[in-house]
Structure 1
Amino acid sequence: MALIRMNFMSQSLHRTVPLLVCLPTDKVDAQGQTPTGPFKTLYLLHGILGSEVDWVSGTRIQRWSDERNLAVVMPAGENGFYTDHAWSTELYSHFIGQELVAFTRRTFPLSSKRDETFIGGLSMGGYGALYNGLRFHETFGAIIMLSAGLLIRPGMEKLPAKPAWFAETTAYQQQVFGPDLAAAGRSELNPKVLIARLLAEKVTLPAIYMAVGTEDDLKGVNDDFDQFLTQRRIEHVYETGPGNHEWDFWDRYLLRALNWLPLTSQAVGLNSGHIK
């Protein structure tokens, strides 16, 4: 499995951005064959305080993608919640849903089929995967949400009087969701509002997988979203299990999510840990 670290100029973000890609083009199987693609692709979004290296350092994604001949694209989303910031001209949503997909498909042998293109994330990235998977539903056929930060809702402007950390401050919330937080909670930044519009337009929604730890503070909002999907008869998978907001949980449930995706398991290729 080739692990490619690169930088490219993003027009959506107006700067050079980093990118990490797992690509099975160097894989040699037991018969001496090397896969050539086009590869099914998973775009993985990190959480708040994270970076493009999080998934490789925190989970076994490199090994699992090798076994499945799956390309994995891991961008840097900084702390931007993967939404468009029109007030600062940084368009994170367009970067994820349009520019990044177009750039990686030009650069690597990736599939251009909707049913072979997936998006996933954890925490902030779980929200980003849901929001952008729905917004760019013609591109993504499946969405993976691990411990998703589903905090955009009516009443979100009522922030703690004494914020415990920067993400609970008005300054940060306005930076990523806009100056009018009350309006943001009623807008299509709220996945429930976005889904209602898509259902009215009879759009075929991407498949949805959700998972959250039973000790995670975000379990309540994930339970609520599961109920919302169930009430509207939107097909999805929702799993919970022991764990908090941490990498041991995400590592376990990322594997379950990969097994849920329409992937074909393959033998691991020749590498330092598998030389027989």
Structure 2
Amino acid sequence: MRIFKRFLYTALILLSVSQLVRGATVDTVDTYSDAMHKHIKAVIVKPVGYNKNQHYPVVYLLHGFSGNYRDWVKNVPAISDYADLHHILIVCPDGNRGSWYIDSPIDPSSKYETYITAELIPYIDQHYSTMKSRNGRAITGLSMGGHGAFYLAFKHQDVFGAAGAMSGGVDLRPFPKNWEMENILGKYSEKPENWEKYSVINLTYLLTPGSLAITFDCGYSDFFFQVNKNLHEQLLERNIPHDFTIRPGGHTWEYWSNSIKYQLLFFSDYFGKEKKGN
């Protein structure tokens, strides 16, 4: 009996230590978009030891087509560990089924560029203890979210200091019949100018060397591999510093659960350099 009690006592101590070491908490918040006149949910992962007396860098992490705000925490539970490791906040907003994170030129009810940059970020900065400047903000995502992250960061370099994409749909034009993009851009045969204007690969003119810390990657077997390679080559031609990584793999959660580790390390390094610079 004494041995059992000692074992139980030891187990409780280990459990308590484990909870202290892995103490990230996950909030689900309900935000309101004036631009779209509706409530939109988001997940916020807070690191262990979070307190209001410290200002935390924030990584905005976007889901892919047909996904939602819970995709990342559901499919990659280690997200909480990464928030602890890098001492950052991770925000996973809902981008609807297929918004591609733009303000649609044909559907006035889909304004996700406005929502994230002008509504969600102020909400997060008001309700959480964040670094309220571009030096403390990064954005990344997978697939549709990779497109969204680059689209938003390229256009709003005053808001984000770093950006990434995982298997990003960085050029929409080769896929005119896919992922319900006609719903937000119009048919390619009728509105080709929209497909040109809203493809990330056509926005690199907004960048200057060093204006944005950039990292992106894609699996060699991914259907988005070639458009990512094309973006990489265009950035090289424009002398825009960036990290581009090719790994084995396809368009899968197995790939993204591995990729996110390296992306968050990149952002953590960026935040650390910015803090030293200040």
Which TM-score tier does this pair reach, normalised by the shorter chain? 0.7 to 0.9
Q: Which one has the bigger helix percentage?
A: 2
Instruction: Establish whether residue 6 from structure 1 lines up as the match of residue 59 from structure 2.
Output: no
Q: Which amino acid aligns with 1:76?
A: D
Superimposed CA distance per residue, residues 34-67 of structure 1 (whole angstroms, 9 cap, x where no aligned partner): 5742110000110001111111122221110112
Instruction: Give the deviation of 1:213 after TM superposition.
Output: 0.8
Q: Does 1:17 align with 2:40?
A: yes
Which of 180, 185, 192 is the equivalent residue of 1:182?
192
Unaligned 5+ runs, structure 1: 160-165, 265-276
Q: CA deviation digits over 1:128-174, x for unaligned, max 9?
A: 00000111110100111000012324x765x4xxxxxx62xxxx323
In structure 2, runs of 5+ residues without a counterpart are: 1-23, 273-278
Q: Is the 8 A contact 1:147 1:216 kept in 2?
A: yes
In 2: Cα distance, 1:81 partner to 1:6 partner:
21
The Cα shift of 1:86 comes to 4.2
Q: 192, 204, 213: which is aligned to 2:219?
A: 213
- Higher relative contact order, structure no. (Cα contacts within 8 Å, ≥ 6 residues apart): 1
| CA 1:34–1:191: 2 relative to 1, 3 Å | closer
2:149 corresponds to: 129
The answer to whether the aligner puts 1:85 opposite 2:83 as a matched pair is no
Deviation at 1:12, TM superposition (A): 2.1
Report the AA paired with residue 192 of structure 1: I
Question: Given the alignment of the two structures, is residue 256 of structure 1 paired with residue 262 of structure 2, yes or no?
Answer: yes
Cα offset, 1:195, TM superposition:
2.1
1:113 correspondence with 2:133: yes
Which residue of 2 is the match for residue 52 of structure 1? 69
TM-score (norm 2): 0.81
Q: Deviations over 1:77-100 (max 9, x none)?
A: 011110102433221111112211
Structure showing greater Rg: 2
Q: CA deviation at 1:192?
A: 3.3
Q: Of 125, 136, 143, which residue of structure 1 is paired with 2:163?
A: 143
Q: Which amino acid aligns with 2:106?
A: W
| Equivalent position amino acid for 1:258 in 2 | L
Secondary structure of 2:255's counterpart equals: helix
Q: How has the CA–CA distance of structure 1 residues 235 and 176 changed in structure 2, closer, same or farther, with 3 Å as cutoff?
A: same
**Distance (whole Å) between structure 2 residues aligned to residue 65 and residue 233 of structure 1:** 32
In 2: Cα distance, 1:86 partner to 1:228 partner: 26
Aligned to 1:233, which of 215, 227, 239? Answer: 239
The answer (yes or no) to whether the contact 1:156–1:181 under 8 Å persists in 2 is no
Alignment coverage as a number of residue pairs: 242
Q: In the TM superposition, what are the counterparts of 1:194-213 in structure 2 within 5 Å?
A: 194-196=203-205, 198-199=206-207, 205-213=211-219
Q: Does 1:97 align with 2:101?
A: no
